[in-house]
Structure 1
Amino acid sequence: MNRPIATIAAWLGFPPFIALIIVIATGTLRPWEGLLCLFGCMVWSIGAGAILARDLRRFGASLAGESGGDFHLVTPGLAQLAERARQTIDAERRSRQTIATDASTSQSLLERLPDALFQFEGPPGMRRVVWRNPAAANAYGTEESALLRHPALRTALQAAEGTNEPIRTTVSLAAPIPRDLDATVIRTDSSDRSAPLYLLLTDRTRERGLERMRADFVANASHELRTPLTSLIGFIETLQGPALGDAEALPRFLTIMGEQAARMQRIIADLLSLSRIEMTEHQPPAEMVDIVPLLRQVAAFMEPILRDGRTSIKLDLMDEMPSIRGDAGQLTQVFGNLIDNAVKYSALKHGKGGGAVTLTTVVTPTPQYAAPGILISVADDGPGIAREHLPRLTERFYRADKGRSRAIGGTGLGLAIVKHVVSRHRGRLTIESVEGEGTTCHVWLPLIGETNRAAPDRPRPKGREG
């Protein structure tokens, strides 16, 4: 006999069996009548046990969801109990599914959030990051540990443990590039100081940079455009007055006016270029760049300038170099500016012929640069720059020799552009120069995974103005 049926039959038949034994023992029933009753009790117990065991199996299958919606139970009340239990379980399953769906939706939303989000857990005063969304990993990466040690953030995290209100603060980062952040810290459970904390960081660098850019552009443009505008106005007034109808003065004046207009055009173009670069300086490039083909392409682009200056260029480039993360367009502008400067300053010493420019590449670490990366150097054999001018060479419109710089068509913005592009690439720009011997500009760019590290300091370089 099936064990569940036998067990149920025993439980059902045991009480009446004991009662019949007592009745037979007292003589109330004759032995054959008692045996007949015992046999009937056994048959009833087995039959009832089989029916109840079947109903219990169907009841269990119904609760487990293994049976269809239509099932028949003979045991009184068990069908109603099974239906109510199944409805309760179905409601619980739907509730759990809804909760799981909501949790998945919330997690997906947090992961797609464009702002950086960090989750902290642990006892008060000993919090650690247990999760961050992709925006945080992409924006800060290896800079995360230094960022989270910022005094303003640590103060905000501590303050959030003692209040139910969100804690807001601003954070200004100076390295590896300047950033302005708005930080908000929220505790998830107002009644538990140990509840997880969430830190939301919103990058305001672009907005605040736009404000500074507008102010700087107006100030720089008004300062630098004043001289060529004054010159143009002066010549126009001369041509309208004393030189009116002077056939000899007209070509000479028009040539000077054209040069001043071209200078204004270069200044405005460089200012706009510098402003665009500053707007993206806080966002490191994501594309991969092979530096050697890029340098060869830049050298090819510069052939007309080299030919006009009768200057030769020597390419000392390694055949195989690792790729770096970079913006090919901005790097082209960097090395184009450096080569253009080198050609112009070589011409100051050698005149129209005899100058030489050297472009070299080296993979670091080296004795001078301990961090893994690529070092690109542009050297000329021009007159060099005095030591006292070196600290300010990358400032906007700074010129070691204003007359000489304007004579060769410089705007004073070339090295400022180079500095900001290199900064966006988390690199370093250093300039070495010896008066009478020439100038060398070094651009160090980190390899992948080293964007948070800087090239070690070199001796204070000597350089050229932009």
Structure 2
Amino acid sequence: MKEREMQPSWLETAAGRLRRNRVLLAAAAASLLAVDLFLGGRGIAAMLAVAFVLAVAVLLPEREGEGKPNATGRNGTEQAGALSAVDLAAVVQDPLYIFDRTGAVLHANEAATLAFGPIAPGGSLQLKFRAPEIHAFIGHVLEGKEAPPAIDYIERVPFERAYRVAAMPIGGEGGLYVLLFRDQSEARRIDRMRTDFIANASHELRTPLASIAGFIETLRGPARNDAKARDNFLQIMQKQTARMARLIDDLLSLSRLEAKPYVRPTERVDLGRLLREVSDSLSHLATETGVAIKLDLPEAPLEVTGNRDELVQVFANLLENACKYGSSGGRVTLQARREKPGAETAVTVTDFGPGIPQEHIPRITERFYRVDVETSRAQKGTGLGLAIVKHILTRHGARLSIRSKVGEGSSFTVYFPPG
């Protein structure tokens, strides 16, 4: 009876294991709360994860030597705590460092090594990151002073990357700390793109609106009884409203494309037939611009997998651009070919106009990017045509290649995957 009473209860055993795993638990809680901070305060997920680690710590069988005093003293406790957190650090997707109260690195996970290069165990974290804001942040944490929960840090070599950095003590009295980097580069790039897009769209709509408002004011005032001026102003206003309508149509088209899931179309489309129809539909534009469209298409069906309406939009955009901006060359060629069965299918639209300077080619598929703003607006361009082309081709698993030489013209080639 006495022997049974001397055996620890399940609750006492669990409590003992919790005490012996306090470093792992503290590391788990701190790291998960840091991630929770970056994710916008979704506390439920972090609490569930901490509860899971808590359960594991209680249920894990004791290792040999657990619960026994460590002969190595405080330093041994720190090393054991660091080793206990290594497994946890390994599964963190973001760069993470575990360091002691002197700023010496005890462990860097793989993500940290890939992002910032290797650092030897015991190396100085403050020598690794020489930025003043990192030094001050780590100093506040080591001194136990109140510090902001996270700071922004920009790494400029080998290329610019933006991080949100959090640091905090772990392991209770073990003297261990964690430094966690959250890469914000892609989020910032998307935010900049969104801001630029809204600014550009607002500008493109504001310009014709300002023009229309000015003409209305003139018609209600000085030109009230001037029939000739009234007809001229109304014609300009009609052109400006048509321009706004085109812009809104392109914005809606781009929005619909981005809203679609990235599931490739499954219908079969005969490119030869489709390209002939597109060429016929733009014959009036070719006549107006003084351009002859030359077709080089196979007689046999040339099928690809795609959405017919979207592909019509792609080649109508490319052929229309060739007629408008390459009109000085007097001709445009439209060629489709497949070298052999099972190979890629290529469709090339070539003009013989002024060409595009090389520095502009990487950017001409960006929204609202124009090589020549005045020429584009004179040709009734919205700056969204090639962005729409790019989105459609991405959905089809196709790619666009652009080649141009100033004074000799430009070629836009669409490559469809085999099948």
TM-score (norm 1): 0.47
* Aligned position for 1:339: 319
CA distance in 2, matches of 1:289, 1:218: 35
1:409 aligns with 2:380: yes
Aligned to 2:221: 241
Matched, 1:379 2:342: no
Relative to structure 1, is the Cα distance of residues 155 and 425 closer, same or farther in structure 2, using a 3 angstrom cutoff? Answer: farther
Query: 1:388 — aligned with what?
Result: 359
Q: Give the Cα separation in 2 of the matches to 1:273 and 1:308.
A: 26
SS in 2 for 1:244: coil
Which residue identity is paired with 2:282?
M
- Aligned residues of 2:272 and 2:302 also touching (Cα < 8 A): no
CA deviation vs aligned residue, 1:194-214 (integer Å, no higher than 9, x gap)? xxxxxxxxxxxxxxxxx9999
Instruction: Provide the C-alpha distance between the structure 2 equivalents of 1:392 and 1:221, rounded to a whole number of angstroms.
Output: 17
2:262 is the counterpart of 1:282: yes
**What secondary structure, in the 3-state scheme, does the structure 1 residue paired with 2:201 have?**
helix
Q: Report how far residue 423 of structure 1 moved.
A: 0.7
CA deviation profile, 1:152-192 (whole Å, cap 9, x unmatched): xx969xxxxxxxxxxxxxxxxxxxxxxxxxxxxxxxxxxxx
**Per the alignment, do residues 294 and 311 of structure 1 end up closer, same or farther by CA in structure 2, a change over 3 Å counting?**
same
CA apart distance, 1:365: 7.2
Instruction: Identify the match of residue 288 of structure 2 among 292, 301, 308.
Output: 308
- Count of residues in Structure 1 that have an aligned counterpart in Structure 2: 233
Confirm or deny that 1:262 pairs with 2:242.
yes
**Aligned residue number for residue 411 of structure 2:** 440
CA distance in 1, matches of 2:285, 2:294: 15
Partner in structure 1 of residue 335 of structure 2: 360
> Which stretches of structure 1, 4 residues or more, deviate above 6 A after TM superposition?
211-217
Q: 1:281 to 1:396 in 2, by over 3 A?
A: farther
Cα distance in 2 for residues equivalent to 1:240 and 1:322:
58
Q: Of 304, 316, 329, which aligns to 2:309?
A: 329
Listed as ranges, the gaps of 5+ residues in structure 1 are 1-153, 157-210, 449-466
1:375 is paired with a residue of what secondary structure? strand
Q: Which residue of the partner structure matches residue 232 of structure 1?
A: 212
Contact 2:331 2:352 in 1 (8 A): yes
CA distance in 2, matches of 1:419, 1:271: 14
> Structure 2 matches for 1:7-22, cutoff 5 A?
none
Give the CA deviation at 1:287. 0.9
| SS of aligned partner of 1:293 | helix
Q: SS where residue 433 of structure 1 aligns?
A: strand
Structure 2 residue identity aligned to 1:445: F
Q: 1:404 to 1:294 in 2, by over 3 A?
A: same
Root-mean-square deviation over aligned CA pairs: 2.7
SS of the equivalent of 1:225 reads helix
Deviation at 1:266, TM superposition (A): 0.5
- CA–CA separation in structure 1 for the residues paired with 2:230 and 2:409: 40
CA distance in 1, matches of 2:377, 2:390: 21
Q: Does structure 2 retain, via aligned residues, the 8 Å contact 1:375–1:443?
A: yes
- Look at both structures and tell me which one has the larger radius of gyration over its CA atoms: 1
Equivalent position amino acid for 2:415 in 1: W
- Contact 1:213/1:275 (CA < 8 Å) preserved in 2? no
The Cα of 1:379 is off from its aligned counterpart by 0.4
Describe how 1:14-413 pairs up with structure 2 within 5 A. 219-280=199-260, 282-320=262-300, 322-347=302-327, 349=328, 355-364=330-339, 372-413=343-384
User: Is the 8 Å Cα contact of residues 326 and 354 (structure 2) preserved in structure 1?
Assistant: yes
Matched AA of 2:236: I
Shift of 1:322: 4.8
How far, CA to CA, are the matches of 2:261 and 2:319 in structure 1? 23
Letter in 1 for 2:306: G
Contact 1:431 1:439 in 2 (8 A): yes
Structure 1 CA distance, aligned partners of 2:396 and 2:372?
30
Q: Which amino acid aligns with 1:363?
A: R
Identity of aligned residues (%): 50
Q: Is the 8 A contact 1:281 1:420 kept in 2?
A: no
Q: What is the alpha-carbon distance in structure 1 between the residues aligned to residue 262 and residue 252 of structure 2?
A: 18
Name the CA distance, whole Å, in 2 between partners of 1:390 and 1:214.
22
SS of alignment partner, residue 248 of structure 1 = helix
Contact residue 378 and residue 442 of structure 1 kept, 8 A: yes
**Matched AA of 1:437:** E
* Partner amino acid, structure 1, of 2:221: G
